[in-house]
Amino acid sequence: MPRWSGDVLTYSASYTVDVTYRCAKRCGYCEYRSDSGGLIAWDVIDAQLDEAARLGGREVLVMSGEQVWLLPDLELRDETAFVDRVIEICRRAMWRGLLPHVNVGLLTGESLARLKPYSPSMGLMLETGSDDLRAHAHGGGKRVADRLRHIEDAGRLRIPFTTGILVGIGERRADRERALRLIADVHQRHGHVQEVIVQNFVPKPATPMQDLPGATLPEMIDAVQMARAILPASVAVQVPPNLLAADGWVELVRAGARDLGGVSANGDSVSPSLPWEPVARMREKAASIGFVLHERLPVYPDIDADLQPAADELRRALVGDEVTYVVCRNVNISNVCVGSCSFCGFMRRSHDAGGAWHHDHATVFAKIEDAVARGATEICMQSGLQPSLDLEYYEDLFRRIKDRWPTLHLHALSPEEMRYIAELAGRPAAYCIERLRDAGLGTMPGTAAEILVEEVRRVICPEKLTTSDWVDVMRAAHRAGVRTTSTVMFGHVENWDHRIEHMRVIRDLQRETGGFTEFVLLPFQVERNALGRHYGIRRSPSLQEVMRYTAMARLYFGADIPNIQSSWVKLGPDGVAESLRWGANDFGGTLMEESISRASGADHGQNLEALEIEGWIRAAGRTPRERTTTYGVVTQRPRDLTVPLRPLPVAGGGQ
């Protein structure tokens, strides 16, 4: 397999929402706690969540003082009432497509279980490995055993979890080491700790510890190195860049830290006087020491934890319980292609090659006629790249199809095909898209994306359009009013960093144009293609891996792309039905004919009737709804408005 660069540094774009600043504890270093005030009002919380959604972050850090239900003036009858309020905050965040990360102090296992569907990840600082600290002696105390029990309960529930230590609060080096070993032990039992924060104490005014010196940079370097030596490699070491003076975080990255934590758009509630510098500046500093700074979710993609409940709840909040599908047919013109994609079993190099075919207009129209008679509202058309399939060819074909079936939707031409057509025409892609739109093109499939990371594309499709080319074609389509799908082809040589970066490229363009209708997950098919043979890839991604990526896609895109589609051609209808529990809400199309995936080994057939799709959806406990290509309501079918066919020419290449 290819060797990829491991020099990735991550952060989460976050926004902080507080339940209350009150706290039943009194720590000597804390300026978050307040002796007055109550629960934050709902209108304030709603305004904050609206701002968080507008700013485009994905994580909402939900914070609170500890065990606040013990304070009688807050009128929270018990922990259950407090958790009810936290869940409602999380629900309101999810309705806006945001991901809650709950860190509200000690809770029971029962409360953690209640929160799990509404908070994809959670956190609680262990802080130290000793109960003998004056920092915790000012009121209520913090016992290591209590906090470790909370972390253990989260592990039993398979909740992705963040914990950490504080450096410089009066603890000894041995206390830090003990805390890190306790964390490593609980992670070894449950596999749920995704990151450990190594946080330096910063003296704050008007606190009992205001005159202490705080942690030094050498102490922090030592603590990071210790964490990296003790913790499993799968657990990231996180440092807070806003708490370290003079770019100290850069030295901690050199020492082994690989995450900068949440960068909150509305500041640090715990240390309000210490803002973060702009992400662009942090990205420059990371690059100066050889790292690429990537945005991540509050959930790490490869953590061994249960993402299904949160993904399913976010799906329910965004799109409800309907599962959509479209009645469509694939009509491919030809499998003859000048391309060289190593994962493709569909293409043939020439018309003379064994298995090559090229349909004339009469055959194409016969296929469409059959599809329309069977109730199709959409024709999906993708083919190989060849000089005869140029702008004039498709312009004429689309006009003839629309003359015959005025309301039939043409979902046609991948970004790679459009790039090739533009190259043949000597014109920009935008020009060709506009001409084809005027001829009848309705939407475009967002295929040819594969993995939108250049180091991967150089391996699997070096002659195909680049990531920036793909984005440019999609942007031109959206600006021309031609909406598109977006896709990922995964499970070959890429890793999780590539998968997340791929989604970031799509999400950023969606925020710019709003032109993507859905995100379609396409697991790599290993049979009958050079990529699988060359790298010894013996099987397609497991159903478990596909479900995990489905959940990550739902969590990552949120309200930006609310429709997540699974491929029954690649997973089988039972696999798609399972994906409906993991965040998917679209079953795809009836297809009627499928040749591209089957050419690379997919063996789940090439047609599902609408009644079969609806049966699978109902069996999954959901409500089926036939949709248009752009997710509207089907009010008529092309067969209801058909115009007599005019004479057809024979086009390019024979039968």
Please say whether the beta carbons of 600 and 529 come within 8 A. Answer: yes
Under the phi-then-psi rule, with left for phi > 0, alpha for psi from -120 to 50, and beta for the rest, what region is 105?
left
For 70, half-sphere exposure in the C-beta direction (CA atoms, 13 angstrom radius) is: 10
pLDDT at 648: 64
Please say whether the beta carbons of 307 and 562 come within 8 A. Answer: no
pTM of the model: 0.91
pLDDT at 352: 64
DSSP label at residue 127: B
Residue 241 has pLDDT above 50, yes or no: yes
Question: Sorting pLDDT into bands at 50, 70 and 90, what band is 536?
Answer: confident
pLDDT at 620: 97
pLDDT digits 0-9 by tens, 490-510 = 999 999 999 999 999 999 999
- 196, 204, 238, 392, 444 from 166: Cα distances, Å: 11, 15, 12, 67, 52
Biggest alpha carbon–alpha carbon distance for the chain: 91
Residue 348 has pLDDT above 70, yes or no: no
Amino acid residing at 194: Q
pLDDT at 337: 78
pLDDT at 345: 55
pLDDT digits 0-9 by tens, 377-393 = 999 999 888 888 999 99
Nearest to 314 by CA among 562, 487, 104: 562
For 383, half-sphere exposure in the C-beta direction (CA atoms, 13 angstrom radius) is: 24
Mean per-residue pLDDT for 158-176? Answer: 97
Q: Is 644 exposed, middle or buried (0-12, 13-18, 19+ CB in 10 A)?
A: exposed
CA angle, residues 146, 152, 157, in degrees to nearest 5: 130
Domains parsed from the chain with CATH numbers: 8-305 (3.20.20.70), 310-640 (3.20.20.70)
Residue 252 has pLDDT above 80, yes or no: yes
Residues 6+ apart with CB under 8 A from 374: 327, 329, 592
pLDDT at 141: 76
pLDDT at 104: 98
pLDDT digits 0-9 by tens, 614-623 = 999 999 999 9
Choice among 5-9, 111-115, 352-356, 396-400 with the minimum mean pLDDT = 352-356
For residues 539 and 90, the model is more confident at 90
Mean per-residue pLDDT for 115-138? Answer: 93
pLDDT at 655: 35
**H/E stretch holding 395:** helix 391-404
pLDDT at 529: 67
pLDDT at 600: 45
Gap between the Cα atoms of 514 and 507, Å rounded: 9
Gap between the Cα atoms of 578 and 547, Å rounded: 8
pLDDT at 494: 93
- Helix intervals (H) in 589-637: 596-599, 610-619
pLDDT at 293: 94
pLDDT digits 0-9 by tens, 419-446 = 999 999 999 999 999 999 999 999 999 9
pLDDT digits 0-9 by tens, 36-58 = 999 999 999 999 999 999 999 99
